[in-house]
Structure 1
Amino acid sequence: MANQTVTNFLTLPVELVYRIMDHQSDFTIICSMKNTLTTLDLEHHHIGSVRAKALGVALQQNTTLITLHLGDNRIGDRGAQSLSRALHQNTTLITLHLTKTEIGDLGAQSLGDALKHNTTLTTLHLEDNDIGDIGAQSLGSTLKHNTTLIALHLAKNKIGDLGAQSLGDGLRHNATLTTLSLKYNSNKGIRSQSLLDTLKNSGLFNTSDLEYNGIGDIGAQSLGVALQYNTTLTTLDLESNSIGDVGAQSLGDGLQHNTRLITVHLAKNKIGDVGAQSLGVALQYNTALTRLDLCGGEIGDVGAKALGSALQHNRTLIELDLNRNKIGDVGAQSLGSGLQYNTVAFIVSLSIPCL
């Protein structure tokens, strides 16, 4: 009896199940519950490459697990290789969390190769993994072949223009990915024309998270042009991207023609009064945008007056965040006048920090 393994935990009292699981390896747990387990959370479990290899072997045999959390473990590139081999054969896993697992470029390359063959994974989290341009290039190549991945999260890595270019090239050949997160990749700055052009030509892409990427006015100008043509993007996050009034003007031009974008985050940029005036003009023509975040945008009374005037014509904006700006009594009065024609919910304060 000592060498036997329980094959189904559903018939045992829950207290006994917990006591048994406390003394079992991850491999044993998966194998014991391979016909029932659908979600497994092993974050912060001191899993290294050896245990990751065991998990990989188990995943090759598992037919029920759909969500696996392995974040904040020291899996490394070798562990990623083991998991990648499993993805070649696994046909049930849908969501894989590998945030902060030290996989690096080599691990990203292994996963990229696996995703060329895997036909079930839809969501992949690879945040905070020291992935650079080499790893991003591999993932970009994968997007040309993969037809199931919907969301790819690459925040807090070290991806620069070369990596972003590869991702952009991949997305032009991809018809399924709808969400791409590249925030906090600002060590090198992402201003890849290829990636920005993808926003113009993509047919399905609906969420782009590019905050803290050093895009600047040049990148914002390209995005502005892209917005004039894009018909699918609904959320665009450009927080803390060193965008000034020139970039804001281009984004404003894009918004005048865009009929799909619902939410735009421009917090912690330096758009100023001139940029706010451009956005104000855009709001007079735009009929889709419902949320505009201009928190910490160095906007004064002149910019607020332009936004207030825009609200007299706009009937779709629901929330306007003007937190942490330089709006005085004159600007506040103009915004108040705009409210007579619009039911937008303002967030105007000097003390509440930008979220």
Structure 2
Amino acid sequence: MDQDTKEIDEEQFKKEFEEKVEKRKQWLLEELKSCGKFLDVSAKKLDDLDALTIALFLHECQTELTVFHIGANQITDRGLIDMLTGLQWHDKLKEIYIGNNEITEVGVQGLIEISSCFKQLKILSMSACSIDDSTFIQLCFALPELKNLQLLQVPGNNISDYGLVCFSTLLATNCLPNLTVIHFGNNPLTSKSLVPFFQAMKKNKTIKILYLNDIGMELTTIKQLALCLKKNKTLEDLNLGNTGFSDSAASVLWPSLKYLKKLQLWNNHLTDKAIYDFINVLEKEDIGLTYVGLQDNEIEEYDLVEDLNALLKQNEIIDKLTEQIEHKEEMEEVDEDKQVKQMIELAKLEEIEEKLGQLEKLNEPQGETQDVANELQGKLKTKKWTGENEDPEDKTLEHSVME
């Protein structure tokens, strides 16, 4: 009896489980269909079974997807590889987010193998995917084919010095012409790779935002960063949060911030001395910085921070006024160009009108001459037929010729 009851319970459990699976499958399919071109199922607590449903949808979907967001779920390598079989046919993709799942370098390698399909890709985000140096170097070989890539996020992985040196080579040779944002935060990087990376960044003219937070930096590394910032006029936003940044590092970096606009230094070891020194530098040097994040440092005199923020605010106001003036000048140049074009078109129109007038004048005398000629011919014909004013000598001459 107990055995029969156990079998009934198992069948009932299996039936209920299948019903739940089918119900969730239908729910997920409705979610996917409502996404249109932007497939975003981030933070939906999806697992590999759900990933299989997504894979089937990708195979059958007739819409060309431009966004593929599956981040912050419980999908593993198996689920990602199932989805990649259908994802490779959507070659118009511009954004791929797969981070914060249970994906490892195995799944990432699968994505790298089909990455050449996505020629229009602009954003590639793979946070916390257990990417090691070997996998990242494979990615570095594939990246030059993604000519439109603008943002690369690989924080929280296992990328160390070998991987970053390989990536620095791409920057130095300008193989990533449209890349503007890099996020390397919370990777086990040291001065062995950071120093050549900053050397490659000196002449870079594309990277505007750089995340290097949660990476321990020695003073020798900060010195190379300072040299980089003196040369690089493109980088605008730099994150050095939780890097062990100290007062001695600050004294090296402060005078080098001529072109940088935003600097994050949260959760470091800065004291009042560093802030006081920075205020002096701002008052004496031509520094373009407009914001510094100083949360969770060892600062006690917050009046100094307020004075610092006031100076940075002045820089921000100056920047905005400069942008407004430049924009106004650009608009004025556009208006001047329009005026010049209008003047040229008006001059051409006047020239055409003048030439038409000349043609009309030339046509008028020709018409009068023709009328006079016709009138004379008419008179001559009349005289010939009527015989008026005939000259006798002409008749005699005509008679002799006939004889």
Q: What is the match of residue 251 of structure 1?
A: 253
Rate the CA distance shift 1:280–1:47 in 2: closer, same or farther, 3 A. same
Measure how far apart 1:189 and its partner are: 4.8
Measure how far apart 1:67 and its partner are: 2.3
Q: Partners of 1:286 and 1:248 in 2: how far apart?
A: 17
Rate the CA distance shift 1:166–1:56 in 2: closer, same or farther, 3 A. farther
Q: Map 1:28-177 onto structure 2 (within 5 A).
A: 30=32, 36-48=36-48, 51-52=50-51, 55-56=54-55, 58-59=57-58, 62=61, 63-172=63-172, 173-177=175-179
Rate the CA distance shift 1:102–1:309 in 2: closer, same or farther, 3 A. closer
Measure how far apart 1:175 and its partner are: 0.8
Q: Which has the higher helix share?
A: 2
Q: Note if contact 2:291-2:309 (Cα within 8 Å) is conserved in structure 1.
A: no
Q: Partners of 1:241 and 1:218 in 2: how far apart?
A: 13
What do residues 146-192 of structure 1 show as CA deviations (whole Å, max 9, x unaligned)?
A: 2122112212222222222223223342111111112222x555752
Query: Structure 2 regions of 5+ residues with no counterpart?
Result: 1-21, 318-403
| 1:101 partner amino acid | N
Rate the CA distance shift 1:225–1:29 in 2: closer, same or farther, 3 A. same
Identify which of structures 1 and 2 has the higher relative contact order when contacts are C-alpha pairs closer than 8 Å and 6+ apart: 1
Residue 274 (structure 2) pairs with residue 283 (structure 1)? no
Q: What is the match of residue 232 of structure 1?
A: 234
| 1:266 partner amino acid | L
Rate the CA distance shift 1:270–1:121 in 2: closer, same or farther, 3 A. same
Measure how far apart 1:60 and its partner are: 5.4
Q: Partners of 1:312 and 1:41 in 2: how far apart?
A: 44
What do residues 239-291 of structure 1 show as CA deviations (whole Å, max 9, x unaligned)?
A: 11012233222322321xx32x2110112222445544553344232342110
What do residues 70-104 of structure 1 show as CA deviations (whole Å, max 9, x unaligned)?
A: 12334333443444454543223222221222222
Q: Identity of aligned pairs, percent?
A: 21
Q: Note if contact 2:119-2:145 (Cα within 8 Å) is conserved in structure 1.
A: no
In structure 1, the residue corresponding to 2:26 is in which secondary structure? coil
Residue 200 (structure 2) pairs with residue 193 (structure 1)? no
Q: What is the match of residue 261 of structure 2?
A: 262
Q: Note if contact 1:178-1:206 (Cα within 8 Å) is conserved in structure 2.
A: yes
Equivalent position to 1:218, from 202, 205, 220: 220
Rate the CA distance shift 1:189–1:269 in 2: closer, same or farther, 3 A. same
Measure how far apart 1:314 and its partner are: 8.8
| 2:212 partner amino acid | L
Q: Partners of 1:210 and 1:46 in 2: how far apart?
A: 30
Q: What is the match of residue 341 of structure 2?
A: none
Q: Partners of 2:308 and 2:88 in 1: how far apart?
A: 57
Q: Partners of 2:313 and 2:96 in 1: how far apart?
A: 42
Q: Partners of 1:267 and 1:41 in 2: how far apart?
A: 32
| 1:52 partner amino acid | A
Q: Partners of 1:73 and 1:309 in 2: how far apart?
A: 42
Q: Partners of 2:282 and 2:182 in 1: how far apart?
A: 26
| 2:112 partner amino acid | G
Q: Note if contact 1:43-1:72 (Cα within 8 Å) is conserved in structure 2.
A: yes
Measure how far apart 1:141 and its partner are: 2.3
Q: Partners of 1:234 and 1:61 in 2: how far apart?
A: 43
The alignment's C-alpha RMSD in Å is 3.5
Q: Which moved more, 1:165-174 or 1:211-220?
A: 165-174
Q: Partners of 2:307 and 2:30 in 1: how far apart?
A: 63
Provide TM-score, normalisation by structure 2: 0.61
Aligned residues: 291
Rate the CA distance shift 1:162–1:274 in 2: closer, same or farther, 3 A. farther
Rate the CA distance shift 1:115–1:265 in 2: closer, same or farther, 3 A. same
Rate the CA distance shift 1:248–1:113 in 2: closer, same or farther, 3 A. farther
Q: Note if contact 2:47-2:79 (Cα within 8 Å) is conserved in structure 1.
A: no
In structure 1, the residue corresponding to 2:166 is in which secondary structure? helix
| 1:283 partner amino acid | L
Q: What is the match of residue 326 of structure 1?
A: none
Q: Partners of 1:84 and 1:201 in 2: how far apart?
A: 37
Rate the CA distance shift 1:108–1:246 in 2: closer, same or farther, 3 A. farther
Q: Note if contact 1:21-1:29 (Cα within 8 Å) is conserved in structure 2.
A: no
Equivalent position to 2:210, from 208, 211, 217: 208
Rate the CA distance shift 1:60–1:29 in 2: closer, same or farther, 3 A. same
| 1:123 partner amino acid | I
Q: What is the match of residue 346 of structure 1?
A: none
Q: Map 1:311-350 onto structure 2 (within 5 A).
A: 315-316=314-315
Q: Which moved more, 1:20-29 or 1:144-153?
A: 20-29
Q: Partners of 2:26 and 2:224 in 1: how far apart?
A: 54
| 1:132 partner amino acid | D
